[in-house]
């Protein structure tokens, strides 16, 4: 049997444990195309769709071996389960940490992946931020690493892997280390967060409901880190980000907004390092990991070179 046939047989075995799915004819096929660039989609785990003859289907995420390089799988699966229980993520049916298999309801018909165009709709943005806030009200997750911790972790990993990096990566690192030091004196209460602001991690129904997916960066950290990772992805311009922040917070708080923006800059550096690491280590050489990394480094560089970057740091306390 081929490797794919073995995997599909294992998936059939897992699905037989679901009520109504035993001894039934199934069609198992790839659910979505996998892209590392321009959008990170389906990279962390192979996306399968299993469909019965009556049309009922489930979505299956099988974590890729690369996941061990940058994902805390037990924490990610726990976060997905919590989101399921809260109604802000797809309903989780099976979460097999050892096998790296997550089986969920298939939000296919009547649902679409979030896009930057949909982020121009205040109602959608507000629903996304409300879902993130609801998740943050729960108990801490087992993972406690924030974005600045992971920058150090992944920088060490890319150096060890002799990965390709931009010539100014040391400068970017030092600037963000300076920012991390500025955060040390702040009174921050860590909470569980989704941790990844990519708008393709949002599913939107035809009726305007939203669900958050791909909890692979979930951790316990500053809630403004969660907000910052979303704002940097959803809004190319500051005025729209300010408006969304003010609606979410109830009023505009410059210090908190500046903190969120710096977290967004740090998120770009972190993802640049992750992309570089996978470009060096992954066996999936058809995916454009370094192209994705290059874009995140560019956006980080643009923000750090902006004359107001220092002003953000000065006015975030």
Domain containing residue 214: CATH number = 3.90.1200.10
The span from the CA of 185 to the CA of 179, in Å, is: 11
Residues 149 and 64 in one domain: no
Of 71, 105, 139, the residue at which a domain comes to its end is 105
Q: What per-residue confidence (pLDDT) applies to 180?
A: 96
Residues 231 and 299 in one domain: yes
Spell out the residues 6+ positions from residue 185 whose beta carbon is closer than 8 angstroms to its own.
317
Give the residue ranges of DSSP H helices in 161-288: 169-183, 223-234, 238-249, 254-281
The span from the CA of 203 to the CA of 235, in Å, is: 18
CATH at 33: 3.30.200.20
Q: What per-residue confidence (pLDDT) applies to 6?
A: 65
Of 48, 74, 105, the residue at which a domain comes to its end is 105
Helix/strand/coil percentages in the chain, nearest 5: 50, 15, 35
Residues 115 and 241 in one domain: yes
Q: Tell me the chain's radius of gyration from C-alpha atoms.
A: 20
Q: What per-residue confidence (pLDDT) applies to 22?
A: 73
| Residues in the chain where the model's pLDDT stays below 50 | none
The span from the CA of 298 to the CA of 289, in Å, is: 14
- DSSP β-ladder status, 111-113 and 202-205: antiparallel
Say if residues 104 and 93 touch (Cβ distance below 8 Å).
Answer: yes
Q: State CA 224 to chain mean position distance.
A: 15
Q: What per-residue confidence (pLDDT) applies to 17?
A: 79
Number of domains in the chain: 2
What is 233-251 written as a DSSP string?
HH-SSHHHHHHHHHHHHSS
Sign of CA dihedral 36, 40, 42, 44: positive
Residues 177 and 72 in one domain: no
Q: What is this structure's pTM?
A: 0.94
Q: What per-residue confidence (pLDDT) applies to 23?
A: 60
Residues 122 and 254 in one domain: yes
* DSSP assigned state of 41: B
Print the domain residue range for 57.
3-105
Residues 57 and 198 in one domain: no
Residues 79 and 30 in one domain: yes
Residues 66 and 157 in one domain: no
Spell out the residues 6+ positions from residue 305 whose beta carbon is closer than 8 angstroms to its own.
none
- The C-alpha angle 76, 21, 10, rounded to 5 degrees, equals 55
Residues 12 and 117 in one domain: no
Residues 84 and 149 in one domain: no
Give me the torsion for CA of 38, 41, 45, 51, rounded to 10°.
-140
Residue 191 burial (C-beta neighbours within 10 Å; 0-12, 13-18, 19+): buried
Residues 118 and 95 in one domain: no
Residues 91 and 152 in one domain: no
């Amino acid at each position: 049997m081929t490797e794919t046939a073995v995997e599909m047989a294992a998936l059939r075995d897992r699905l037989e444990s679901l009520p109504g799915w035993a001894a039934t004819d199934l069609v198992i096929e790839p659910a979505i195309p996998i892209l590392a660039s321009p959008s990170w989609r389906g990279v962390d785990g192979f996306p399968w769709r299993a469909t019965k003859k009556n049309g009922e289907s489930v979505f299956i995420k099988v974590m890729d071996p690369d996941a061990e390089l940058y994902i805390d799988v037990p924490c990610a699966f726990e976060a997905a389960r919590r989101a399921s229980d809260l109604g802000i993520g797809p309903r989780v049916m099976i979460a097999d940490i050892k096998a790296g298999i997550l089986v969920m309801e298939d939000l296919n018909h009547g649902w679409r992946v979030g896009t930057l165009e949909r982020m121009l709709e205040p109602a959608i943005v507000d629903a996304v931020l409300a879902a993130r806030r609801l998740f943050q009200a729960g108990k801490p997750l087992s993972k406690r690493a924030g974005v600045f911790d992971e920058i150090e972790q992944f920088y060490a990993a890319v150096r060890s892997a002799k990965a390709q990096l931009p010539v100014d990566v040391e400068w970017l690192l030092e600037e963000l280390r300076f920012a991390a030091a500025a955060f040390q004196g702040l009174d921050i209460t860590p909470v569980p967060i989704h941790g990844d602001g990519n708008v393709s991690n949002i599913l939107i129904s035809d009726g305007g409901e939203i669900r958050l997916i791909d909890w692979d960066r979930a951790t316990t950290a500053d809630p403004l880190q969660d907000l910052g990772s979303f704002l940097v992805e959803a809004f190319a311009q500051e005025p729209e980000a300010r408006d969304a922040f003010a609606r979410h917070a109830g009023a505009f708080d410059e210090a908190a907004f500046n903190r969120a923006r710096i977290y967004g800059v740090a998120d770009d550096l972190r993802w640049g390092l992750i992309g570089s690491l996978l470009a060096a280590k992954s066996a999936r050489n058809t995916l454009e990991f370094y192209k994705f990394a290059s874009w995140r480094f560019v956006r980080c560089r643009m923000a750090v070179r902006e004359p107001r970057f220092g002003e953000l740091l000065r006015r975030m306390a």
